[in-house]
Amino acid sequence: MKVKQRITTSLSQTQAFRKEREGSVSMAEECLENSRLEVEQASAEIEKWKRIEQGKQRELNEWLSPESQRLSKERESVQTLQDTLATNLDAMREGLKDSWEGKLGDNIVFLAHLGGYTVDPEMVARPGDWAPAMELLYESQVTLALSQEMVKFHSAVLHRLKSQEETAQREWKKGVEDIFGPAPKDLPPPPPPLTAHGGAVYSVAFSWDGTKIVSGSGDNTARVWEALTGELQTVLEGHTGSVMSVAFSPDGKDVVSGSGDGTVRVWDVLGAKVKRVLKGHSASVWSVDFSADGSRIVSGSLDRTVWIWDASTGQVQRVLKGHTGALCSVVFSGDGSKVFSGSDDTLVRVWDAVTGEVCAVLQGHATCITAVASSRDGLRVASGSGDKTVRVWDVLTGNVLRVLEGHTGSVWSVSISRNGSICSGSDDKTLRVWDALTGTSKRVLEGHSGTVRAVAFSRDGRRIASGSYDKTIRVWDTPSETTLAHGT
């Protein structure tokens, strides 16, 4: 009886051990498959690199060719190992169907040393009675051995990939610098942040004279700051939802805000009081703007509509319908004659601000439009998208003039300076300043520890304000020697 109890206990332990090892094999196979996919992606990326600037990157291409061959061999090795393991596992399972009498006699020494077990003579005399337990025990040991080999191979592949990635990054940097010149090494440190919000900063805007900055946050407030010193001047409280968008009136006396509570509010900055509450949207208001003469306000909502309001009375002038997705961003053209809107439906629409008619539909982004910005003359509009790009459009023709690529995350905000420079903020925690004529990224501004949700140029183009999910606001200098574009 003691022997049977011991074998029963051993059987239970072996079953548990088998399940554990099956899990290990499954994990190892999954890791191996991930490695194979990484190798394929790396090979595809290298092929892409080889097509870039052909004839100008000879040294880089000379390195890429053998590296691509090595990656192809690596991929073949992974596939070979997978095929071998599959064959071995099938053979092992088939073999376990055979009689255990012969196997037991051949493996008495192995069993005697396995986990300190003693092989009972009764097991040798009557092997058929213990076949189920022995089958589990034998299979678990083979599975363990296979999983260990797979883990070793996977570790070697990961080490190889890491080494290749580091080498590729060095060579890629060298190739880029050979073409475009070395990256500047004298960039100033990021500015100290303004940290008075209790939630993510969704929107920032300069006053027209550049002396103040207003910010909207997930803490349900808008705040007004002294632009040069960073001193907090006013807290505007009243919204019951996140303040998603803010803008100054041209005279700097009023601020308009749009909120997750579905309302638009107009504030007296000096008195820190609400002047008007504009109601009509049936969902969160994600974007607001003043017209250049201060007479109108435009708002865009997740209810898929754009509203144009009389700023002095709060009366609705127009409700613009046509988007099939949530409105993420709206802005007046510089002369106030048009409204640009960007939506989750991947389209930018150009509206006549007086008649409400659609003037143009700009199509090209792969995913939602998160931000739109207009040049001062209204002839250019920039759009940011979840597809990680910024596009610059000719409003009259509807054609794409430039596709600005460089961000590694969704672009959440864009701004155009009076001389045509473009700034964008992204999920990748950076701001980029672009030359709108050439489409090149001239500066990458780092310092935020979260998504850069908002960017805004001052009207003179000398400063940029940024707001982030890290709850901070930063103000960046853009001196004349780093001005990026030559005007539009």
The domain segmentation of the chain, as residue ranges, is: 2-179, 201-482
pTM above 0.75, yes or no: no
Residues above pLDDT 90, as percent of the chain: 54
Among 14-23, 250-259, 417-426, 440-449, the least confident range: 14-23
Q: What value does the mean pLDDT take over residues 126-147?
A: 56
Query: How sure is the predictor about 359, in pLDDT bands with cuts at 50, 70 and 90?
Result: very high
What DSSP designation does 194 have?
B
* Torsion sign, CA atoms 263, 264, 270, 273: negative
Pick 5 or 215 by higher pLDDT: 215
Q: Please state, in angstroms and rounded to a whole number, the distance separating the CA atoms of residues 248 and 97.
A: 80
Contacts of 233 (CB under 8 A, 6+ apart): 212, 224, 225, 226
Give the number of C-alpha atoms closer than 13 A to the C-alpha of residue 166, restricted to the C-beta side. Answer: 5
Give the number of C-alpha atoms closer than 13 A to the C-alpha of residue 227, restricted to the C-beta side. Answer: 23
Contacts of 415 (CB under 8 A, 6+ apart): 373, 422, 423, 424, 455, 456, 457, 464
Q: What value does the mean pLDDT take over residues 460-481?
A: 87
* Torsion sign, CA atoms 307, 308, 311, 316: negative
Q: Please state, in angstroms and rounded to a whole number, the distance separating the CA atoms of residues 39 and 18.
A: 31
Pick 404 or 20 by higher pLDDT: 404
User: Hey, what's the torsion of the CAs at 130, 135, 136, 140, to 10 degrees?
Assistant: 140
pLDDT of res. 168: 61
pLDDT of res. 478: 83
3-state secondary structure at position 187: coil
19-56 in b/e form (b: 16+ CB < 10 A) is eebeebbeebbebbeebbebbeebbeebeebeeeeeee
Query: Quick check: 100 pLDDT over 60?
Result: no
CA 129 to chain centre: 60
Q: Please state, in angstroms and rounded to a whole number, the distance separating the CA atoms of residues 455 and 425.
A: 6
DSSP codes joined into one string, 26-77: HHHHHHHHHHHHHHHHHHHHHHHHHHTTTTT-HHHHHHHHHHHHHHHHHHHH
Among 102-111, 150-159, 163-172, 475-484, the least confident range: 102-111
Closest CA relative to residue 289, chosen from 239, 342, 325:
342
Q: Please state, in angstroms and rounded to a whole number, the distance separating the CA atoms of residues 67 and 61.
A: 10
Pick 192 or 23 by higher pLDDT: 192
Cα-Cα end-to-end distance for the chain: 94
Pick 463 or 44 by higher pLDDT: 463
Question: Which overall architecture, per CATH, does domain 201-482 show?
Answer: 7 Propeller (2.130)
Query: How sure is the predictor about 42, in pLDDT bands with cuts at 50, 70 and 90?
Result: low
Q: How many CB atoms lie within 10 A of CB 246?
A: 30
Sheet containing 400-405: order of strands: 369-374, 380-385, 389-394, 400-405
Closest CA relative to residue 284, chosen from 311, 313, 305:
305
Query: Quick check: 68 pLDDT over 50?
Result: yes
Query: How sure is the predictor about 375, in pLDDT bands with cuts at 50, 70 and 90?
Result: very high
What are the beta bridge partners of residue 365? none
Q: Please state, in angstroms and rounded to a whole number, the distance separating the CA atoms of residues 110 and 113.
A: 6
Query: How sure is the predictor about 382, in pLDDT bands with cuts at 50, 70 and 90?
Result: very high
What are the beta bridge partners of residue 320? 306
Q: Please state, in angstroms and rounded to a whole number, the distance separating the CA atoms of residues 47 and 66.
A: 12
Q: Could you tell me the two tokens for 60?
A: 């880089």
Query: What is the C-alpha radius of gyration for the chain, rounded to an integer number of angstroms?
Result: 32
Residues above pLDDT 70, as percent of the chain: 58
